[in-house]
Amino acid sequence: MEVFGPNELVEDVLKRDFCIGCGACVNLCPYFKSYHGKTAMLFPCTLTQGQCFAYCPKAEFDLDAVSSSLLGQPYDGSDLGSVLEVLASRAGEKAQAGPVQAGGTVSALMSFALKTGRIDAAALTDREDLIPVPRLVTDPEEVLKCASSKFTAAPTLAALNQGRRDGFKSVGVVGTPCQVMAVAQMRLNPLDKEGFTDAVGLVVGLFCTWAVDTRKLTALLADRLDASGIRKMDMPPPPSELLVIDTGQGKVEIPLDEIRPLVPTGCQICPDMTSEWADVSVGVMEGKPEWNTLIVRTDKGRELVEEASKAGVLVTEPMPEKNLSQLRTASMNKKKRALARAKDRRVLNADDDGSRSALRIQDEVLNKILE
Ligand SMILES: Cc1cc2nc3c(=O)[nH]c(=O)nc-3n(C[C@H](O)[C@H](O)[C@H](O)COP(=O)(O)OP(=O)(O)OC[C@H]3O[C@@H](n4cnc5c(N)ncnc54)[C@H](O)[C@@H]3O)c2cc1C
Ligand code: SF4
Ligand code: SF4
């Protein structure tokens, strides 16, 4: 993987408006900061190679190199990535109840992982009004405070970097696919640092088709609701075409036609819908709003799901074939759209003329996906 420095990160990602505000470049040094969903470099830095560039999911992300190093197999462009099992799931009787998004699988697994010592901290996403806020949580009882989806792109990985800096040995992280891509790069020690240890103990990925820019959403909603009262946001499955915001004093419905223009440019070149580099990935389940879709990807993920189920913290069922088939199609469509757009914008597999890419993929795999 080619690694450049902060100036190239500014040129390739911030100036091209590809930044998704994931927080992977924040809390590494004094220079990159995130404020209300926007990431900026505050002071010049002359490093020619930096962790900021190396971790960024929008700068020289080489799908094949990550797959080969992390999973020991080439990137094959399959719809869901590496999969051991796909299940339907929800939090079990022994899980703490709280304001979860769907089945509560994510909060149940993170709380269980903390309780059983699999991780010593969890990097999660809280919310203050409409602003998503990274949180490093060590108490299993605190996990539910960060439950439910903030549909705004969030700097969650700033909390992961903080945890690594603070010396936590096994940090769990819940992230969207772009964040999970950044975490994958962190785990590969891209700068070949001596004495490197992987402090990421568990990766729970979310499904994501797109997110919304925090500042733009704040502006859109300014005269429609009091953001300090927001309890929950939801996007019910088609044909609803709505973002529904529960304000505590009633529900405000915003047509998705008004929301789509607020989607950051970075989402348009995002090839991953299901967090392919996670231990387990979790999304909603169409037709069963109190359940999740759960993809088990690694042995670590399988062990966690099995033990959480035995402890009554998680309930699983086989995934209906129809849902699985819809998921595969949606995921493949996102890959096709993203790679076609990245190609059009000339940020895919840039030639050896000194240009840099946002994404890299083997030509034969690209052709297979786009055919
Ligand atoms: C931006 C976004 C887009 C999504 N799009 C889809 C989709 O297209 N299809 C689909 O099936 N599912 C999607 N999801 C996932 C879905 O909304 C639920 O998060 C998932 O089903 C888990 O449900 P749960 O009840 O287990 O979550 P809970 O137990 O309520 O836990 C939710 C977890 O999500 C984390 N979180 C919340 N907001 C963010 C954020 N912005 N960035 C990073 N982490 C966050 C919290 O830290 C919390 O741990 C999306 C989620 C987000 C954040
Ligand atoms: S996408 Fe993430 S790592 Fe890249 S510049 Fe933006 S905040 Fe930093
Ligand atoms: S679509 Fe991709 S880039 Fe956008 S928030 Fe979701 S995972 Fe991140």
pLDDT score, position 248: 84
Residues with C-beta less than 6 Å from any ligand 1 atom: 100-107, 124-125, 132, 146-152, 154, 156, 174-176, 206-209, 211, 282-284, 292
pLDDT, position 339? 98
Q: Return the pLDDT at 154.
A: 97
CATH numbers and ranges of domains, the chain: 6-213+263-370 (no CATH), 215-262 (3.10.450)
**Which residues have C-beta atoms less than 6 Å from ligand 3?**
20, 153, 176-178, 208, 210-211, 266-267, 270
Residue matched to tokens 């940020």: 347
Scored b (16 or more CB within 10 A) or e, 280-296 reads: bbbbbbbebeebbbbbb
Cα–Cα distance, 244 to 165 (Å, whole number): 38
State how far the Cα of 65 lies from the Cα of 185, in Å rounded to an integer: 10
Q: Which ligand is nearest to the CA of 290?
A: 1
CA separation, residue 199 to residues 70, 121, 189 (Å): 15, 10, 11
Does the pTM of the predicted model rise above 0.85?
yes
The pLDDT assigned to 352 comes to: 64
- The per-residue pLDDT for 249 is 86
Find all residues with CB under 8 Å of 259, minimum gap 6, and list them.
212, 217, 220, 243
Cα–Cα distance, 146 to 100 (Å, whole number): 9
Distance CA 324, CA 174 (A): 22
Which residue in 252, 309, 241, 346 sits closest to 105, CA to CA? 309
Cα 149 to middle of ligand 1, angstroms: 4
For the chain, the first-to-last Cα distance in angstroms comes to: 27
Average pLDDT of adjacent 10-residue blocks, the chain of 371 residues: 93 96 97 94 95 98 97 97 98 96 98 98 96 98 97 97 97 98 97 95 98 96 91 89 92 96 97 98 95 98 98 98 97 98 94 84 97 89
* Ligand 3, atom 1, residue with closest C-alpha: 210
CA of 190 to the centre of ligand 3 (A): 22
